[in-house]
Chains A and B, each alone.
Chain A
């Protein structure tokens, strides 16, 4: 079985499992008291955020390794991971406002986590725009690795600055999401969805990586 085929099967499996998660979420997990059914979107949103962060982390790691080992496969992996990460970022950035509108009463707020994810999205976009603009594969790999590493180091600084900004400007935020202690059923559902999204990430990246392999031979 080729890599692409294996990736497809893993993705398919993950999607079936995701459907299972939602059966569990809708049927067997209690409805959150204050948020109502809107809260159900969290089982997509939070794990998508996790996968996006995972993507960026692995892009950074692959970039460091690439600069040391100069192996074209690492570059291909980083490219695949970034592309998949962008998709997860999109999922996160669309499900977030959908949830926030009924719950917070606004589509968007400049909360630390939100700003961080938005910047993550911009990082992914920048990374990809750069890749698209370099034709020489060796140069492209080097450049992408440099940006990948810088991006990874940047994230904590963005988080810190946005966090500092908010704490220095205390303001009444209606229904601010405090770290909720989840009832066990919700927690299990959430953890399961984390697993499923990680699997989705793996499946997507395998397919994208296989595609990159085809492209490089041509």
Chain B
């Protein structure tokens, strides 16, 4: 299984945001004022920090990303009035990465970089933030190698045990698995997924006969997956206990040309790599194929197909845009 959705710590360095896989983050330390000079010690030009008895090397993300001959990233913050240190685990080594700012943690959808950038070891991919901004995901091990925190010789063993860039395999497809109504299993190709969001039920509003939610300054129409698909099973396999209603809804955001649609699903489960040759034809409306995934029959939906069929209804708010077409 490829880890394609993961929690990440979002940091800022040199004016740009970067995502660090949470699985590699050990802890965060923030130093202010005098502490900065006191706590960061120097061995010649190498900075180190004592973290509960361990002497750990420190590197500055700004400085590491300033490449000789490559793209120059704006100013390194030489005035160390504040130091935000993210302690990371790379293979069996620990080190501290100094960043300008620690923003927050988020669930991110990992997207692979294009062929042009696969040679760059320091990035594991990229993701799209809520505001549409593309943010690079640091490859912690790659970063450690780049900055010589880990000597190059050992890297091959270490790499196999770690999160490394996804190599898209031919005829394989990343699927996002989710539970539909009555615990049916469904999936959509991850390439069609723009974002995964969770909204409070209390934030839902209505326009006309449609449920909507405010999203990125726009109105996102919501479509419940259960209303789209004729349900065949009468009794749920694993019934949800009575009276248990969730406060939040999970939404898959699909975006195309000028509009976005939020598909409300019961529960987002996982992502899997699936070989497209094992797909079976399906009679389910809106689904492109069926397959057995994790022991369950799973309909693979085509979001494009579904959304185009409901375009006329769901996108009524965009009447103005449609008129000019």
Are A and B genuine complex partners? no
